[in-house]
Amino acid sequence: MSKFVDRPRYTCALGGAIGTLINLPRVIPVLHAAAGCGGNIANALNGAAGYLGSGYCSGQALPSSNVYENEIVFGGEGRLTEQIANTLKVVDGDLYVVVTGCMVEMIGDDAKSVARKFAGNRAPVLAADTGGFKGNSFKGYDIVLELLFRELVIKNQSKDPKTVNLWGIVPIQDVFWKGNLEVLKTLLEKLGYRVNTFFGEGETLDNLKNAASAVFNIVVSDTAGVEPARVFEEEHGTPFITVPFPIGTYGTEQFLNAVGKALGIEEAFINRLIQEEKKHFYSYLERLADVYNDLDLQRYAVVVGDSNYAQALTRFLADDLGWLPELVVVTDLLTENEQERVTARFGNYLSPIRPKLVFDSDTSSVKKHLFNHWPINRNQRYYDGFNPAFVVGSAFERDLADSLGAPHLSVTYPISNRVVLDRAYAGYTGALRLAEDLFSTLVGSR
């Protein structure tokens, strides 16, 4: 079914699992894998996610069994046992999670049963099979969440009607995840809810352990984290909704209405929040009224990225900024079902824009889709070209932007040409940041 990928924008299940675990507070991944797996993944995580860096215990510090030919022939469980025991002595964490690479799974090492030998230790040791051939980073995120929801989250907790969990924003694959989680948390707090985001600011492992006390789970994605939400429901009886990742006033309004409806919040209360937020948003966006109109800053746009960002960016560009996102390329590896769910998010625009949507994981395809979509220059006297244009995608899209002579902003993974700290693009405040960054690019030469 699947095929090769031209410049993939994700690593493997193991990479996604590591990216997920290192962004949980004081959680230590223990790799049971060939030596290069961690090194390769660390390069992809650190250098391609806005210079995330090696963090508390990532990069070269990742504990790893580093199996070689000998273990591949004779089995690696002995080496893993030794590695876990010594990791517990050297590395200071509150939870240790063994994650496996392809080779040890292919030879049939049972990481879970090795991990179980460490039950009763000062900190729990869990294990997940995350062999790279199982899928890409998003799969790794799902596997880890499923493991944690099954084995770490405490069962039979009494529900607190004012607490919700929120996930679906994948650390690293969303380079702005931490800022984005903070924005959405703050929004829901304004509705009177406590929000566990697990990966956001100020979260502790206890928030995760006590996650079953939440009354509802909000998955901010149509693809990532959906399976774990089913597992959560099965294990802890907590219902969930999936909502699209929101950027800008229209996207966030949809988000708030969907959440409000699911939680049974009075419509008027939601509307009041929406009005307040919009007022704040326009108190700043208003400043662009001059320059946008003096310089005619409406742009055609190409949007390239994962399914979360693609729909959110398109809606923001079309419905908030009045731009013309002509082509949208979703680069995830999705099933047909997932593609249908994602496609559904590209309708119902306020603006008359109907972007051309394609699912294609190959980086060099973006240009081909644009040429198929937009009439090419046949050397006619008058040509309605694809300009003025803007490319919103990853660092990979710089080549496309250069060839179009268009400016470019890296918003989706990989981002190697920007430094990202606590910046957020989600919600109303995030949309202001995005407007700043887009228009700063346009006036950058002045």
Partner 1 sequence: MDFIKEKAPPVREDRLKACNAFGGSCCQLAEGARKGCLNGIKRTFAQTQGCQLNLSMAILNTLRNAVIIIHAPIGCGGGSTAMAGLTKNFQKLRDAKAPGLIWLNTNLDESDVIKGGESKLREAVLYADREFRPSAIIVANSCVPALIGDDLDGILAQLQAEVAAKIVPVHCEGFKTKIQASAYDAVYHGILRNLVDVREEYERVIPDELEELAENYRRSKTVNILNVSSMSRFDEDELTRLLRALELNARFMPCYAHPDDFETVTEAALNVSICATHDDYFVGHLQAQYGIPFVLRAIPIGIMNTNKWLRDIGKFFTIEDRVERLIEAETRELEKALAPYREALRGKRAFLAGGEIRVLANATALVELGLEVVGLKGYHYDGFGDDFLNDLDLSDEVLFNVATGQPFEQSNLLERLKPDIYVGHTGGNVWAAKQGFPVYPIFGQTVNYMGYNGVFELARRLTRLLKNPVFNRNLAANTRLPYFEDWYKQDPFSYIDDSPAQSNG
Binding span for partner 1 by CB under 8 A among 220-228, 229-237, 350-358, 392-400 = 392-400
Q: Which residues does residue 136 pair with via DSSP β-bridges, in sequence order?
A: 12
Q: Which is nearer to partner 1, 31 or 208 (CB)?
A: 31
Q: Is 176 in the site for partner 1 (CB under 8 A)?
A: no
Q: Which is nearer to partner 1, 51 or 349 (CB)?
A: 51
Q: Is 60 in the site for partner 1 (CB under 8 A)?
A: yes
* Residue in 351, 392, 356, 359 with CA at minimum distance from that of residue 371: 356
Q: How far is the CB of 279 from partner 1 (least distance, A)?
A: 38
- Write the CB contacts of 107 (distance below 8 Å, at least 6 apart in sequence): 71, 72, 75, 76
Q: Which is nearer to partner 1, 40 or 271 (CB)?
A: 40
What is the rounded CA–CA span in Å between residue 123 and residue 31? 17
Structure tokens of 232?
């959560």
DSSP alpha helix (H) spans, 328-417 = 336-344, 365-373, 398-404
Q: How far is the CB of 311 from partner 1 (least distance, A)?
A: 23
Q: Is 44 in the site for partner 1 (CB under 8 A)?
A: yes
Q: Is 180 in the site for partner 1 (CB under 8 A)?
A: no
Q: Is 19 in the site for partner 1 (CB under 8 A)?
A: no
Q: Is 2 in the site for partner 1 (CB under 8 A)?
A: yes
* Contact between residue 149 and residue 196 where contact means Cβ atoms under 8 Å apart: no
The position carrying tokens 């590695």 is 83
Mark residues 315-344: x for contact with partner 1 by CB under 8 A, - for none: ------------------x-----------
How many residues touch partner 1 (CB under 8 A)?
A: 76
Binding span for partner 1 by CB under 8 A among 33-41, 151-159, 296-304, 334-342 = 33-41
Identify each DSSP E strand in 168-275 by its residue range. Answer: 194-196, 214-219, 240-242
Which residue in 20, 21, 32, 34 binds partner 1 (CB under 8 A)?
34
Which residue in 25, 61, 152, 159 binds partner 1 (CB under 8 A)?
61
Q: Is 3 in the site for partner 1 (CB under 8 A)?
A: yes
> How many residues make up the chain in this entry?
446
Which residue in 95, 99, 102, 357 binds partner 1 (CB under 8 A)?
102
Q: What end-to-end distance do the CA atoms of the chain give, in Å? A: 50
What is the rounded CA–CA span in Å between residue 441 and residue 446? 10
Structure tokens of 399?
């080549």
Q: Contacts with partner 1 in 128-167 (CB under 8 A)?
A: 131-137
Q: Is 53 in the site for partner 1 (CB under 8 A)?
A: yes
Q: Is 272 in the site for partner 1 (CB under 8 A)?
A: no
Q: Which is nearer to partner 1, 8 or 322 (CB)?
A: 8
Q: Contacts with partner 1 in 205-264 (CB under 8 A)?
A: none
DSSP alpha helix (H) spans, 300-359 = 307-315, 336-344
* Contact between residue 249 and residue 273 where contact means Cβ atoms under 8 Å apart: no
Q: Contacts with partner 1 in 395-424 (CB under 8 A)?
A: 395-396, 398-399, 413-414, 416-417
3-class DSSP state of 4: coil
Q: How far is the CB of 444 from partner 1 (least distance, A)?
A: 18
Q: Contacts with partner 1 in 69-98 (CB under 8 A)?
A: 69, 72, 82-83, 86-87, 89-93
Q: Contacts with partner 1 in 112-131 (CB under 8 A)?
A: 131
Q: How far is the CB of 359 from partner 1 (least distance, A)?
A: 15
Q: How far is the CB of 206 from partner 1 (least distance, A)?
A: 20
The position carrying tokens 């250098």 is 47
What sign does the CA torsion over 176, 179, 180, 181 have?
positive
The position carrying tokens 């708030």 is 256
Which residue in 95, 99, 103, 153 binds partner 1 (CB under 8 A)?
103
Q: Would you tell me how many other CB atoms lie within 10 Å of the CB of residue 5? A: 15
3-class DSSP state of 154: coil
What is the rounded CA–CA span in Å between residue 237 and residue 406? 50
Which residue in 121, 283, 337, 364 binds partner 1 (CB under 8 A)?
364
Backbone angles phi, psi at 408, to 5 degrees: -150, 140
Q: Is 65 in the site for partner 1 (CB under 8 A)?
A: yes
